[in-house]
Amino acid sequence: MRYVDEFRAPQLISRAGVEIRRLADHHYRIMEVCGGHTHAIYRFGLKDLLPENVELIHGPGCPVCVLPMGRIDDGLSLTAQPEFTFAAFGDMMRVPGTHGSPLEYKARGMDVRIVYSPADALKLARMNPEKHVVFFAIGFETTAPSTALTILRAKSEGLQNFTVFCNHVTIIPAIRAILDSPDMRLDGFVGPGHVSTVIGCRPYEWIAKDEGKPVVVSGFEPLDILQSIVMLLRQLRNGEAKVENQYKRVVPWEGNRAALRAIAEVFELRSYFEWRGLGFISQSALKIRKAYADWDAEQRFSVPGVRVTDPKAAQCGEVLKGVLKPSQCKLFGCECTPEQPVGALMVSSEGSCAAYYNYQHQKPVSISSAPVL
């Protein structure tokens, strides 16, 4: 499989590094939007391959990290009723709420379940008609279509003991909020890979046309990310701003229309939604349409609508916007660690603080000796 071998080749990686150095004639600040990219950048020490004048800024694309604590409290409040089961992805389980994480609620005897798919939360409801299963949905456009299809399935089965507590967010308004932020200067974006399999590449075109900043949708391997940076720098050097797709092997330019139809059928935009660290962003999240109110935990049950401000000393917002490096936060590594996270950026492996913490003290994985399945 020559194609695959070529992709692994360390020579190509060092060649990309040389090309980046050749192209970097100014100081460039490039944001990688997706948490998966942030994780890969730290894991492989890609920053060490870049010259000092190519700076990578970590973006808001980690759904666990941007979820405000009040939403976790609201979702967990439903577990006070004994017939309720709280089902969520494993990523959510250690995220602290005001009175503990979902895992701590489970330890206190609440019915908290890890599921790997929203379809499995539906299955729990189907198998346990005496229970009411609430699926705590998080994620960007990558995950929202699966939640939408699950709600459509629940409706077609007439299942009444299943609801979704919807926290799905959309990436474009977050990018707009970051670009509008007065303390932020960015030259281009490494675009998210798997979000783009759903939304395609067109939704980024305004960033190029209106803001004059290039976007390259990227894969997740070291060479993918370095190639994307080369493509961005070439555009910047030539005074161009367009959207390019480096991850063509997975991302179609038009996205996945069936997935977009499912989102449009079940969800509508919330007028505003709070993002941890970024504050309220208009039209940045999805809510369940009235036609599907029976499967919406927020429309069916009373939730307190808690708003919790982050601890003052934690500087998650500044780190999320890329104004501060993780290590520049006052709590980093002392009061806030992956074992005892204060902020959500330290919880998820896609959060920049956890990635920085986990990989800063150890030698990054050697690209040529990475394991092969």
- Could you say whether residue 182 binds another protein (CB under 8 A)? no
Region 201-230 residues binding another protein, contact defined as CB under 8 A:
219-222
Q: CA–CA separation, 142 vs 145, rounded Å?
A: 7
Q: How crowded is the C-beta side of 266, counted as CA atoms within 13 Å?
A: 26
Which of the ranges 114-122, 167-175, 204-212, 271-279 carries the binding residues for another protein, by CB under 8 A? 114-122
Beta strands at 272-275 and 279-282: parallel, antiparallel or unpaired: antiparallel
- Could you say whether residue 66 binds another protein (CB under 8 A)? no
User: Contacts with another protein: how many residues (CB under 8 A)?
Assistant: 59
Shortest CB 276 distance to another protein, Å:
15
Amino acid at 93: M
Under 8 Å between Cβ of 27 and 56: no
- Could you say whether residue 296 binds another protein (CB under 8 A)? no
Region 341-370 residues binding another protein, contact defined as CB under 8 A:
348, 350, 365, 370
- Could you say whether residue 60 binds another protein (CB under 8 A)? no
Q: Please state, in angstroms and as integers, the Cα–Cα distance from residue 99 to each residue in 72, 74, 77, 93, following that order.
A: 10, 11, 10, 13
Nearest partner of 288 among 262, 308, 306, 307, judged by Cα = 262
Q: CA–CA separation, 103 vs 234, rounded Å?
A: 47
Region 237-256 residues binding another protein, contact defined as CB under 8 A:
249-250, 252, 256
Give, to the nearest 10 degrees, the angle between helix 352-360 and helix 35-43: 10
- Could you say whether residue 32 binds another protein (CB under 8 A)? no
- Could you say whether residue 74 binds another protein (CB under 8 A)? no
Task: Give the footprint of another protein on this chain (CB under 8 A).
Answer: 1, 3-4, 7-8, 34-36, 39-40, 43, 62-64, 89, 91, 113-120, 123-124, 127-128, 138-139, 142-143, 145-146, 149, 152, 193-194, 197-198, 219-222, 249-250, 252, 256-259, 262, 348, 350, 365, 370-373
